[in-house]
Amino acid sequence: MIEENKGNVVGKYVRAQNLSEAAKEIQQLLDYLAQTYPTSTESEIQVAISKIEQKPELRERIINAFEKGGKTALEKLVDHPAAAIAIAIYDGWKNPEK
């Protein structure tokens, strides 16, 4: 049946799977960020952002996870104190002129 209905069933399943995987990856990244970089104060947040920006592999993981799952969907799925920081970092990387 899935083969006969390629555009609908398969597409929806793949999208849900990608979103779930991306949310899981973002959650893991946020756990790592929260443990590695304290973000209790504004100055700690700035230091964390600066250190994260110096790690290209971490930057790529964040960007890929957001792009795979969709930023808006991940904002709703990921419940983590550091989520706003990761989203702000992602927005800064994708829109550096703002």
**Burial group, residue 93, by CB count within 10 angstroms (0-12, 13-18, 19+):** middle
Tokens 């959650």 locate to 27
pTM above the 0.85 mark? no
- Domain spans in the chain, listed from the N-terminal domain onward: 3-94
pLDDT at residue 14 in the model: 47
Mean pLDDT of 76-96: 75
Higher pLDDT, 35 or 78: 35
pLDDT tier for residue 74 given thresholds of 50, 70 and 90: low
pLDDT tier for residue 72 given thresholds of 50, 70 and 90: confident
